[in-house]
Amino acid sequence: MIDKGIDLDNITYSTIITCAKKCILFNKAIEWFERMYKTGLMPDEVTYSAVLDVYAKLGKVEEVISLYERGRASGWKPDPIAFAVLGKMYGEAGDYDGIRYVLQEMKSLGVQPNLVVYNTLLEAMGKAGKPGLARSLFEEMVDSGIAPNEKTLTALMKIYGKSRWARDALALWERMKLNKWPMDFILYNTLLSMCADLGLVEEAERLFEDMKGSEKCKPDSWSYTAMLNIYGSGGNVDKAMDLFKEMSEVGVNLNVMGCTCLIQCLGRAKKIDDLVRVFETSMAAGVKPDDRLCGCLLSVVSFCEGDEADKVLACLDRASPKLVVFVELLAGKASTSFDIVKEEFKAILSNTTVEARRPFCNCLIDICRNRNCHERAHELLYLGTVYGLYPGLHTKTEKEWRLNVRSLSTGAAHTAFEEWMVSLAKIIERQETLPALFSANTGAGTHKFSQGLGSAFASHVEKLAAPFRESEDKAGFFIATREDMISWVQSKAPSVMATA
């Protein structure tokens, strides 16, 4: 057409632009759009929506807004698809003001959202952390006569679960059954995962039985994994093992996550022989150990001794031989230099996913303390801090110095506290300026099954005779005044810290 001098009209340009978008040739789509604009042709609704989507996928927010405003100025009335693009873009950025702008624009133009737009805006509300507004938007959708689909309900359930709105989530489930709204695997499993996160055992069991009675949504591997997580977190070994046997009977394979949940449960219950059997069965079934499973085995090693520890280490050796070698190095000769420990630890971290690095370090510190290798524990804490595994461990203001141990294991928290006490003792001895208050934050878990650090930390503080007491106002906080710290250092600290 170009070679023959045939003018390209609006439909031709729109077809080429839309084709380029569908072929994921975003730069080509923009190139042809700009070429179209230079000819003086006005884009139609389809073209505007397509190019808005292209800019949004490329992360060009300013270009999206500019094009939208330019189109509106030219008389273009956006359709629901264009608003879905805007809503998704703002949602990806977690921009609540942007989402609100989209809703206001639709209202001012009299554009009625369709199901796609509502689903997009609900997902955006979730990413922006606005559960209340998501609920209001959902009710608006239902009141307008639009029935939710599986994607709508899954998005809302994820929002409720993330915000820990258990009552609203369960009420929505009952409403879904009453109205016979569509359910699929993703929605069922989202509900089960939420129950696992919130520790809702009875509710999860009812939902699981509901799945078993369903014709189209029988429990799959992820459904069983959620239940294993619930029973494992609650320490219900018998139910967890019954579920493991049931999976074999109905032909559902255990995945690596389910294996991890079950091993964690058996480890806490000190049922090491059962743990080994589950691990070997899983390996024979083709489960490939990941860092989370290795971390779980490492955690069990941290509180086992003798033959039991050796059995778990044998499992870990099949999953990660290098990790076992490092554990033996830590508990081996005291003459092993710090430089060797540093290099080996660095190698372990480099081969570990980012999210598993801190749990690995926590477990390794616990193992060292359990085997009376306290110096090694302090070395690992130092290395973990150097490698950025414990950001925000210490915070200081003019009025307060705080130790934040919420993300540490019990042994790592004890080690960090000891380090802090030694450091504070030296500062006090040098008569440097001190704040009025010192605090340690162990956190107060909101999960029903969360055990927290509080009681273990309190025992350790008492053992060291440190002047920290539990706060009456803030759960999970231990506080000490400047005067108490100075008095402690001058009277008890030297002898206490020498034996820490």
Which pLDDT value is given to residue 125?
Answer: 83
The tokens describing 24, both together, are 């994921």
Which pLDDT value is given to residue 496?
Answer: 47
Of 178-182, 293-297, 476-480, the least confident: 178-182
The tokens describing 474, both together, are 């803030």
Dist. CA 380–CA 393, nearest whole Å: 14
- Rounded to an integer, the average pLDDT of 353-362 is 95
Query: What are the tens digits of pLDDT across the range 250-307?
Result: 999 889 999 999 999 999 999 999 999 999 999 999 999 999 999 999 999 998 988 9
The answer to whether 336 and 329 are in contact (CB under 8 A) is: yes
> Over 70: is that where the pLDDT of 184 sits?
yes
> Over 70: is that where the pLDDT of 139 sits?
yes
- Tell me how long the chain is: 500
Q: Which residues contact 328 (CB under 8 A, 6 or more apart)?
A: none
> Over 60: is that where the pLDDT of 449 sits?
no
Which pLDDT value is given to residue 267?
Answer: 93
- Rounded to an integer, the average pLDDT of 74-89 is 82
> Over 50: is that where the pLDDT of 453 sits?
yes
Q: Which DSSP state fits 478? A: E
DSSP-derived 3-state class of residue 481 = strand
- Rounded to an integer, the average pLDDT of 197-221 is 86
Name the pairing type of β-strands 400-404 and 394-396: antiparallel
Q: Which domains does the chain have, with CATH numbers?
A: 289-389 (no CATH), 394-498 (3.30.1370.110)
Higher-pLDDT residue of 112 and 274 is 274
Of 36-50, 107-121, 296-310, 376-390, the least confident: 36-50
Which pLDDT value is given to residue 142?
Answer: 92
Instruction: State the sign of the Cα–Cα–Cα–Cα dihedral 320, 323, 327, 329.
Output: positive
Across the chain, mean pLDDT equals 87
